[in-house]
Amino acid sequence: MSQAAEVDLKLLRAASLLDTDPAAAARAAAEILRACPGHHAATLLLGNAQRRTGAAAAATSAFSALAAAQPDSAVVQLELARALHGQGLADQALASYQRALELQPDLAEAWRELSALQAERGSDAACDAAFARYSALVAEDAHLHEAAAALAQHRLSAAEALLQNALTRQPHDWAALRMLAHVARAREEYREAEQLLRRSLQLAPGYSRARLDLAALLNEQQKAEPMLPLLARLLVLEPASLPYRTLLAAARTHLGEIDEAARILGALLREHPENEHVWLYYGHTMRAAGRVHEAIDAYRRSTELNRQFGEAWYCLANLKTFRFAEAEVAAMRAQLALADLEDSSRMHLEFALGKAQEDAAQYADAFAHYERGNALRRAAARYDPESSSRLVRRSCGLYTQEFFAARAGWGCTSEEPIFIVGLPRAGSTLLEQILASHSQVEGTRELPDVTGFALELGMRDSDIATYPQSVADLTRAEVDALGERYLMQTRAQRLLGRPHFIDKAPLNFLNVGLMHLILPRARIIDARRAPLACCFANFKQHYETGVLFSYSLENLGRFYRDYVSLMAHFDTVLPGRIHRVQYENLVADLEGEVRRLLSYCGLPFEESCLNFFQTRRAVYTVSSEQVRQPIYSQGLDQWRHFEPWLGPLKQALGDLADSAANDTASGRR
């Protein structure tokens, strides 16, 4: 064997040790260099091995010598940059990365590592631009094609298993983390999805796809404030981007900045007049602004551009005062007949046709559509009906009179917040509109802050949940700080500067104990509606997020019982603390109920609260059109048309199904 061949063999053996035993690889490379001083390949191997063992200075010395000998080698410049980076010599490393890319612009790993270096230097725009170049050269999720296919087919368990296996092999796989967040998002496990996306961005700070996913996830939860810095950064890289600007408009809408949202969307419509999604977002903004005719025109335009776009059809149905034309009903039926229609579009169309048939007094057909829509929605999400029952039991066990007595005087003493809780479709938006018509009260939207605190304190849908028991571990200073933090976080929502503001988030009834503790002088209003009426109103309503109990009559009945049980507990341990408004009584005696409500809130009576439908403000919930009309009683008995099919709901409600509160006539006595 020739000497050159023998050296090559030794190099191969040494290189094979690089991943498993870099110290041994360094020794082998040094031995070769003693026999063959200046051998380029051996020097490259030695420097690489030294860098991996943490000897960055020695590696830098080796690569510097090699770079002097091979000034046009991109690979050597890349290795030198890595060594310099390892030494903490950021500026010199930057120069070497840039030199490597001048020599070989398609050197993908150099772009990726340059992106990481720019992130460390605080150069966000340069970080993102470098990662974009990397992504253009490498399909970072190509190795996850099976998981991607499973996700596209909505086989969430299969996708999850494949992605978990990938992360077991490579825990720092930012693309797998991003894709796993898609699984969590599809199941409405938003906190987990957010954690996964933030972890992905920690590993790859320039990963714009993960940043976009995070902004979209926050949008689904109406968390507008944290969307803004994400979108600002994305727009630096791609200022003309359609999805980035659309999400920015959505964030502005959530913040009540309707004119700015309309300006952004108007520009997008001029640039993309054939894009059904832009028309959909424009419809959302017009609806929030109370410009219902423009919202209808926008949604209809969206359906014309894409007949299979079920979400746009449902948005029309979700305008509670809207009625479909016969041709539109026929068009929806034609889409449902398609075998290859996506499940999401099919689900939205089922709910839309349910509403159309209910308006036509075809109740059996309407219920069949509602039932199919709910079945599709249940299949797309995980919900444990025992989870709320466990939380209620834990809450009743913790929040006793003794618990609150021991913490008397704790919390922030502000009287500014007015919380409205209860179940969705129980009149909470109506109460919000009534109160927001008062000169001293500002309406906002469904704020996520209290739920965010509960999640921080360990609220989970599992047996290992630590909430609300974790609340007992909070010190007085921590409780006070949470109250102050709530006021700080919600300040951006208060555009009018009035003395009081409304936080209407119905499911915060699960967090009444925490709310009372951190804000003991805030008002808490329980919006309640007769059980069968309330539950069925939820069953026929599709929610984009967060109301997973509503897609089964049995789960609805059980959840309503949990709600009543928890509120009865707080009536006992905090007597008089919560003001209850029965929807049926509000309809029957508006002025009397409004006067009692204002008295509880410490507010003088104002006639404008009775003329709430004249108040012009952005309204974001599914009742936005209804609260812009005078109060009416026609909806009290709507559920009775569907009574033949409500047996499972009645059984789940038990004695509540026959309670006096369920007799809608009692509200008119």
Provide the H-helix boundaries in 187-223.
Answer: 190-203, 208-220
pLDDT tens digit string along 580-612? 999 999 999 999 999 999 999 999 999 999 998
Res 61: pLDDT = 77
230: how many CB neighbours lie within 10 A of its CB? 23
Give the H/E segment covering residue 259: helix 258-271
Per-residue pLDDT at 659 exceeds 70: no
Per-residue pLDDT at 11 exceeds 90: no
Say which residue the tokens 């092999």 belong to: 169
Say which residue the tokens 């991003």 belong to: 178
165 confidence band (pLDDT: 50, 70, 90) = very high
Q: What gap in Å lies between CA 480 and CA 464, rounded to an integer?
A: 27
Per-residue pLDDT at 622 exceeds 60: no
Res 154: pLDDT = 83
Res 668: pLDDT = 36
Domain with CATH 3.40.50.300 in the chain: 386-668
Residue 383's region, left for phi above 0, alpha for psi from -120 to 50, else beta, is beta
**Mean pLDDT, rounded, for 156-164:** 94
**Mean pLDDT, rounded, for 213-217:** 97
Say which residue the tokens 């930012």 belong to: 174
User: Hey, what are 29's tokens?
Assistant: 């490379």
Res 380: pLDDT = 78
Per-residue pLDDT at 628 exceeds 60: no
Q: What phi and psi values does residue 442 have, to the nearest 5 degrees?
A: -110, 130
CB 566 within 8 Å of CB 396: yes
Smallest CA-to-CA distance from 44 within 9, 19, 69 is with: 69
223 confidence band (pLDDT: 50, 70, 90) = confident
Smallest CA-to-CA distance from 536 within 391, 413, 354, 356 is with: 354
667 confidence band (pLDDT: 50, 70, 90) = very low
Q: What gap in Å lies between CA 320 and CA 355, rounded to an integer?
A: 9
445 confidence band (pLDDT: 50, 70, 90) = confident
Give the H/E segment covering residue 503: strand 500-504
665 confidence band (pLDDT: 50, 70, 90) = very low
What's the CA angle centered on 86, arms 83 and 92, to 5 degrees? 65
CB 581 within 8 Å of CB 525: yes
Mean pLDDT rounded to a whole number for the chain:
88
pLDDT tens digit string along 449-493? 999 899 889 876 555 678 999 999 999 999 999 999 999 999 988
CB 197 within 8 Å of CB 177: yes
384 vs 208, residue with greater confidence? 208
Q: What gap in Å lies between CA 107 and CA 112, rounded to an integer?
A: 9
Q: What is the largest CA-CA distance in the chain?
A: 108
pLDDT tens digit string along 333-365? 999 999 999 999 999 999 999 999 999 999 999
Say which residue the tokens 């008295």 belong to: 599
Domain with CATH 1.25.40.10 in the chain: 3-137
CB 83 within 8 Å of CB 47: yes
- Which segment, 9-23, 144-158, 197-211, is predicted with the most confidence on average? 197-211
CB 384 within 8 Å of CB 358: no
C-alpha count within 13 angstroms, C-beta hemisphere, residue 501: 19
CA pseudo-torsion sign 282, 286, 292, 294 = negative
**Mean pLDDT, rounded, for 378-391:** 87
Task: Average the pLDDT over each of 121-125, 168-172, 446-450 and give the range with the smallest value.
Answer: 446-450
**Mean pLDDT, rounded, for 306-312:** 95
CB 577 within 8 Å of CB 411: no
Q: Just give the CATH number of 3-137.
A: 1.25.40.10
**Mean pLDDT, rounded, for 204-215:** 97
CB 641 within 8 Å of CB 358: yes
- Which segment, 30-39, 85-94, 410-419, 451-460, is predicted with the most confidence on average? 410-419
Per-residue pLDDT at 218 exceeds 90: yes
Give the H/E segment covering residue 24: helix 22-35
User: Hey, what are 88's tokens?
Assistant: 């903490």
Smallest CA-to-CA distance from 183 within 230, 139, 227, 147 is with: 147
pLDDT tens digit string along 79-123? 888 888 888 899 999 999 999 999 999 999 999 999 999 999 999
Q: What phi and psi values does residue 38 have, to the nearest 5 degrees?
A: 80, 5
- In CATH terms, the fold of domain 386-668 is Rossmann fold (3.40.50)
Per-residue pLDDT at 661 exceeds 50: no
CB 650 within 8 Å of CB 532: yes
Per-residue pLDDT at 8 exceeds 70: no
pLDDT tens digit string along 530-542? 999 999 999 999 9
613 confidence band (pLDDT: 50, 70, 90) = confident
Res 666: pLDDT = 41
Helix (H, G, I), strand (E, B) or coil at 526: strand
Q: What phi and psi values does residue 503 have, to the nearest 5 degrees?
A: -115, 95
Res 546: pLDDT = 74
Task: Average the pLDDT over each of 5-9, 81-85, 638-642 and give the range with the smallest value.
Answer: 5-9
Residues composing the chain? 669
